């Protein structure tokens, strides 16, 4: 199965100590977005006792994380013509402001033939592409901004 990784999913797996599970496809731009998140607004780390702590990495630590993530992924890039074509569709898809970056991820996921696009920001991708957003297969309980949602399929237990 081909998994396309949005930056939010990469950061989520890293912050839960699950970096070894990161494998699949993304855009090269996701590396800089991940670096930006790790060093900028930060992220929540859930400790083994269940407590949550908001943290931000140093530039050096974030660079080390990116070096470890980089070889775990394959990269799909959009050409200038593909970007212009996607932007032509932006008004019909209500992709304005920051949502245009999600549109580019959706287009890249389609281009590489991904089976699923993994993200914490599922609502940001609604109507942008044809690749299914299937967070229920990830088995996470995500905290994304102030939105909380449980992502288990009906056949999985919540042990």
Given strand 24-26, what is the order of strands in its sheet?
73-75, 24-26, 3-5, 116-118
Report pLDDT for 94.
84
Domains of the chain with bracketed CATH: 3-150 (3.40.50.1010)
Angle at 114 between CA 113 and CA 118, to 5 degrees: 160
Q: What is the pLDDT of residues 55-72, one digit of tens each?
A: 999 999 999 999 999 999
Report pLDDT for 62.
97
Binned at pLDDT 50, 70 and 90, residue 5 comes out as very high
Binned at pLDDT 50, 70 and 90, residue 152 comes out as very low
DSSP 8-state code for residue 94: T
Predicted model pTM = 0.81
**pLDDT higher than threshold 80 for residue 159:** no
């Amino acid at each position: 199965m081909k998994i396309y990784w949005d930056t939010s999913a990469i950061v989520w797996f890293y912050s839960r100590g699950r970096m070894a599970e990161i494998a699949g496809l993304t855009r090269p731009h996701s590396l800089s977005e991940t670096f930006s998140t790790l060093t900028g607004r930060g992220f929540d780390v859930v400790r083994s006792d269940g407590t949550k702590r908001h943290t931000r990495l140093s530039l050096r630590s974030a660079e080390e994380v990116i070096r470890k993530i980089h070889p775990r992924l394959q990269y799909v890039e959009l050409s200038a013509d593909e970007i212009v074509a996607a932007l032509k569709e932006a008004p019909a898809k209500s992709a304005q402001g920051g949502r245009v970056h999600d549109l580019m991820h959706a287009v890249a996921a389609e281009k590489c033939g991904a089976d699923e696009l993994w993200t914490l920001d599922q609502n940001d991708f609604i109507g942008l592409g044809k690749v299914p957003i299937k967070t229920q297969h990830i088995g996470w309980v995500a905290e994304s901004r102030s939105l909380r949602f449980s992502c288990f399929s009906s056949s999985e237990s919540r042990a």
